[in-house]
Each structure stands twice: as C-alpha cells, then as structure tokens.
Amino acid sequence: MGLIPRGITGPVIGKVGPAVGYLWKGKPCLRAYREHINFPNTEEQLRQRSWFVGMVRFAAQATPVLRLGMRRQANEAKMTEGNLFILWNKRHFQLIDGALDIDYAHLKLTAGSAADVYFHAPQFKENEVLEVDFEKNTLSLRASGDDNVYLYVYAPRRGMGYLSAPTARRNKSLSMRLPEAWSGEEVHLYGFVVDREGRSSNSTYIGVGRVNHYEDRGRYIPLNKNWKDFVDIANEANNPEAPAEAVGKEQETLEKPTIDLFGDPPEVP
C-alpha cells in the first residue's frame, strides 16, 4: 500500500497502482512498476548480465571509497556514486571467453581537484601488514599537511576490498593490517587524498603484489607522472638489469676527465 502523507501534492511512498514512490537522497521520486519481466536468457543477454553484475559487485565493494571520492560529482549528475563509477569505468570491464577481465590499472575510483601525492612501491611485510610511503606533490601549491591520505586494497580472487584509515599528508607513510585469511592473495592498490574542504584527488593506481610476501615488493606503475625519481623507480622495477651497452656508456662517462675552468685543461689521453 502506498502512502501520500501530505495529500495529493505531497511525496508518494510505496506502490500506488503501476507507480512506486520512494526517497532518494531526501528527494521524492516516482518510477513505473512492471509486474511481469521477460527473461529470454539468450546468450547475448547472459553475457550482458555477467558484465553488468561484475561492475556492480566491484562498485559495491568500493562503496566507502566512492562516497569519499565521487559524492560531489554524483550529486551534480543526479545519480548514485555506484552508477557514476560504472559510467566512467565500463570500458575497463570486458568479458573474454566468458570470464570478466578488469583493467585495474586504469580504473577511476575518485576524482577531484585536491592535490594528490606521489606513492612509492608498496611494501608487503609480515603478519599481513601493508605499508606505502608517499611524497608531497611539489607541483601543487594547494597541498596541506592536514589533508588525509587513503589506501584501498582489492583482492580479485575474493572479490573483496578494504579502505584504510586516513593518515595526514605530513606523515609520508601509511600502513594497514589486512585479514589473516588474505595471506598469499594477489591484491591491487589504489591511493587518493581528501583535503580539508572535503574535495578528493584523482585516484592513483599504486600497483599489484601479494600479501605476506615481503620478498615481492609489488609493482609501481606511474600514470601521467613527470617526476623523474618515480619514473626511475618504475623503470628499475620493469628492467631490474640494465643493458650492457648502457653500463658501458655509464662507465665511459665516469672515466672522462673533468675540466678546470680556472686553469689549464688536463691532457686527454
């Protein structure tokens, strides 16, 4: 039974004939109700449902993150944070041979104008402890040491994710304890910042690694970063052994004599 608490001009709550009234974010809404829904269950429909269900499940696990990082954009778009996440990221979810494939490195979990930070490679330590160091973004003048930095960790095999407690930007390090049952699990890490005004930064994909495998330092993947130090970290992670030619050139450079600008130049052999 539907209710109209304020008369015919007031909001409708519940089912009234073919319509259903409800409140969404404090606003009265009305939508049509279909008693009979046909599900032919064709192969293409089953594929579409599997694809959509996979996105919804990921968004549901990331709900605490989406509320921190997409609330303002969702309110402006007049949709939920989960629907906005799907709208922005649906191209990163694909069905390959019936299995859902997710491009974790390019998922957008938060978006905003807050200054981000540069994340170091994740450190996986004993007792399911994860630690990530970070540096202040020197290119931003709006950064404050009081801004909160968060980590989000997602385990694909379990279909579960955890949001860390916040730490101040000035601390330059964040650690969190993952469930004991996650030992050995492959996890994907994301980081973002929420400033004092409640604005979020764009999320950063930090990397992938295995819980409790402290010999596995994870993999740092910079996205649109121009800071040389962290690009070098990424290059070393992808190419741990430098080519012989590069080593030879480096030694040749070191052996070149220096030139004294205030005296006679040394003799070059």
The angle subtended at Cα 225 by Cα 222 and Cα 230, nearest 5°, is 60
Arithmetic mean of pLDDT, 150-171: 95
Higher local confidence (pLDDT), 46 or 105: 105
Q: What percent of the chain has pLDDT over 90?
A: 49
pLDDT at 42: 82
100, 135: one domain: no
For residue range 58-74, list pLDDT tens digits in order: 999 999 999 999 999 99
Arithmetic mean of pLDDT, 146-159: 95
123, 201: one domain: yes
Q: What is the CA radius of gyration of the chain?
A: 26
Collapsing DSSP to helix, strand or coil, 51 comes out as helix
Residue 247 counted as domain residue: no
121, 98: one domain: no
Q: How many domains in the chain?
A: 2
pLDDT at 4: 55
Contact status, residue 175 vs residue 75, Cβ threshold 8 Å? no
For residue range 19-53, list pLDDT tens digits in order: 777 777 777 777 776 666 666 678 888 888 889 99
- How far is the C-alpha of 225 from the C-alpha of 261, rounded, in Å? 37
97, 122: one domain: no
202, 143: one domain: yes
What is the full DSSP assignment across 186-240? Answer: EEEEEEEEE-TTSPBPPPEEEEEEETT-TT-------SS---HHHHHHHHHHH--
| Residue 200, CA distances (Å) to 1, 65, 112 in order | 42, 10, 5
pTM over 0.75: no
- Length of the chain equals 269
139, 94: one domain: no
Residue 201 counted as domain residue: yes
Residue 2 counted as domain residue: no
Residue 179 counted as domain residue: yes
End-to-end CA distance of the chain: 98
Which residues, listed in sequence order, are joined to residue 23 by a DSSP beta bridge?
A: 28
pLDDT at 24: 74
121, 82: one domain: no
Confidence of residue 224 (pLDDT cuts 50, 70, 90): very low
* CATH number reported for the structural domain that contains residue 213 in this entry: 2.60.40.10
52, 122: one domain: no
Arithmetic mean of pLDDT, 147-157: 96
Confidence of residue 267 (pLDDT cuts 50, 70, 90): low
123, 189: one domain: yes
153, 196: one domain: yes
100, 164: one domain: no
Domain termination residue (choose one: 58, 87, 106): 106
For residue range 182-222, list pLDDT tens digits in order: 999 999 999 999 998 899 999 999 999 999 865 444 443 33
Domain termination residue (choose one: 106, 125, 142): 106
pLDDT at 199: 92
97, 153: one domain: no
Q: Which of 41-45, 49-53, 129-133, 224-228 has the lowest mean pLDDT?
A: 224-228
Residue 98 counted as domain residue: yes
Confidence of residue 6 (pLDDT cuts 50, 70, 90): low
Q: Mean of the per-residue pLDDT values for the chain?
A: 78
Residue 163 counted as domain residue: yes
Domain termination residue (choose one: 106, 129, 157): 106
| Residue 97, CA distances (Å) to 10, 43, 47, 76, 78 in order | 51, 13, 10, 37, 35
pLDDT at 178 exceeding the cut of 70: yes
pLDDT at 87 exceeding the cut of 90: yes
pLDDT at 269: 46
Residue 122 counted as domain residue: yes
Residue 25 neighbours by CB distance under 10 Å: 9
pLDDT at 260 exceeding the cut of 60: no
Residue 168 counted as domain residue: yes
pLDDT at 205: 96
Collapsing DSSP to helix, strand or coil, 145 comes out as coil
Range of the domain at 47: 43-106
179 CB-near residues (< 8 Å, 6+ apart): 128, 162
